[in-house]
A and B are shown apart, each in its own frame.
Chain A
């Protein structure tokens, strides 16, 4: 099995330890990664999508064509990349005028968007293509005895019509829960499970309001689950939960800290990855919980 790894911006430049986690975990599970060399930004929401539909799709389409030429699906760990690429694909696949306009633009660089590659989120890809049971068999460490709270991420779920990997009910997501349970974790439910973390455009526009949202989620997690670890399904959520806690503590909005990792980081640890390479850039201390995972 082989897939194209769409690494995007935040994972490349902000949390390359997450990039390393993907680069370790996929091959460890027998899946080869192609680098989709020459890929660009998805593009993210505040840029091309906010300017023009055809321009957004054209930049996305160039990325799609890199995977199409190789006959590969695209896998990413970033919700924004997943959402933007899936939406641009949906627009081109369902609107022949948009597709024709995009291909007119791509003609100048000798490319053509055909629509033959799927866009997948890493843990959904593993869930559907390998399944939790096969992943269990490959584990060197487990999360037995650890309680986790989940942050699935908005773009994992909505709009469900644009995604290849759909949740049975996107307002009651199960995939990330089942994947964490496959690693041995106890997954606690909390009221604000599907609330937004406030990262992205909201944080860029008004940091205080953005942090109010993540504060609400953290308090709900703490009071209802009291987790040893927060596990996210999105790189942006990872960055928000990881970096906001210090601000909130300094502002006396919370009086605790909870370590945060992306699911692919937890999986990589369980498969035997080097802890510094796959979790070494966390701002909120993950040391003790990583010790527990590696002892499990």
Chain B
């Protein structure tokens, strides 16, 4: 959406990107075209109650209109709680949550992802945990637990296994995070 369109609230449909629909379908939003904009998903969505610009129904509408830039310029798709109320109530089995995820996948392919997501992905690769608190050892000890949980952080072989898995995924092809050797020192709260 151009700045003029944002200012006037008028959408020039000839500027829409017709390829966006196919991209969404390829990235997990297979049932996109089943949507009849009935808004049952919106009635159940916490993003509506919280006041975000784009929630399930409006994301789908914007995709159908090809408003790629409008969706990429707004952070709303990253606020989706993945709560799946929309999936539960949709009468057409559109799976609106999966379409928001697919829109995130489009955004990531254009490097339009929040810093926190990049940090979460880096933390996942480096430690095996997307949410990781480097100083948690003392917190764990305080309640009588070993400083490291029985996860990849306490098991170098398991971490290498996980990294070998991640290196074969689209994340590696996209080059969003460095996948070289690194020390586990950072904290990340996604």
Contacts and interface: CB of A to CB of B under 8 A. Distances in A.
B152 A46 contact: no
**Interface size for chain B: under 10, 10 to 19, 20 to 34, or 35 or more residues?**
35 or more
A202 B82 contact: no
**Interface size for chain A: under 10, 10 to 19, 20 to 34, or 35 or more residues?**
35 or more
A105 B83 contact: no
Contacts of B130: 9, 41, 43-44, 46-47
A17 interface: yes
Nearest to B150: A35
Q: Which of A13, A53, A62, A83 has the most CB of B within 10 A?
A: A13
B144 to A, nearest CB: 5
A210 B80 CA distance: 11
B50 A40 contact: no
Contacts of B75: 205-206
Interface stretch (A118-126, A128-136, A152-160, A248-256): A152-160
Nearest to A42: B130
B145 interface: yes
B79 interface: yes
B116 A204 contact: yes
Contacts of A195: 46, 49
Interface string B123-163: 01000111111001001101111000111101101110110
Interface stretch (A218-226, A273-281, A288-296): A273-281
Contacts of B61: none
A40 B158 contact: yes
Contacts of B161: 38, 62, 109, 111
Contacts of B157: 38
B46 A196 contact: yes
Nearest to B83: A154
B104 interface: yes
A43 B124 contact: yes
Given A51-B105, A105-B169, A202 B139 contact: no
B84 A83 contact: yes
Contact of B149 (A12, A53, A201): A12
Nearest to B174: A51
A80 B145 CA distance: 23
Contacts of A116: none
Interface of A: 7, 9-10, 12-14, 16-17, 19-20, 23, 35-41, 43-55, 58-59, 62, 80, 83, 105-106, 108-109, 111, 154-155, 157-160, 170, 195-196, 198, 200-202, 204-206, 209-210, 212-213, 216, 274, 276-278, 280-281
Given A40-B158, A48-B169, 17 more contacts: A7-B149, A7-B151, A12-B140, A12-B151, A38-B152, A39-B158, A46-B130, A48-B121, A52-B171, A55-B170, A62-B161, A109-B165, A202-B79, A202-B81, A204-B78, A204-B189, A209-B52
By Cβ-Cβ distance, the 3 closest A-B pairs, closest first, are A38-B158, A55-B169, A154-B83
